[in-house]
Structure 1
Amino acid sequence: MGGASLLCGSPSHIHRYIRLYLLVLRLLLLLLGFLDHSVEGYPHRSSSCGDT
């Protein structure tokens, strides 16, 4: 309850939190994508290297 009123009182803080939240979200998505690519890429790379 107190947090909501605090946010309503200062719009600048809202923008700051939103920007920070989006930045963290973007970093998480990048990290997840990187992990997915690395996990999927390793076996493909090893198999391609083994074939040649």
Structure 2
Amino acid sequence: MNKETYSIIGMHCASCKALIERTLNKTEGIKSAQINYGAEKLTLEYDPTKI
């Protein structure tokens, strides 16, 4: 598993956060997707062999 953090720019509300997290967490190979809305950061844990 790899863990990386990315900047997320342009989220306008908590609904954006929820939609992005929900979509990523349904993606094969992604173990965890968590967004810190205030910091505009996405932390992903994923299996690089499946993405």
TM-score of the alignment, normalized to the shorter chain, above 0.5: no
Whose helix fraction is larger, Structure 1's or Structure 2's? 1
Of the two, which has the highest radius of gyration?
1
Question: Please, what TM-score do these two structures have when normalized by structure 1?
Answer: 0.31
Question: Please, what TM-score do these two structures have when normalized by structure 2?
Answer: 0.31
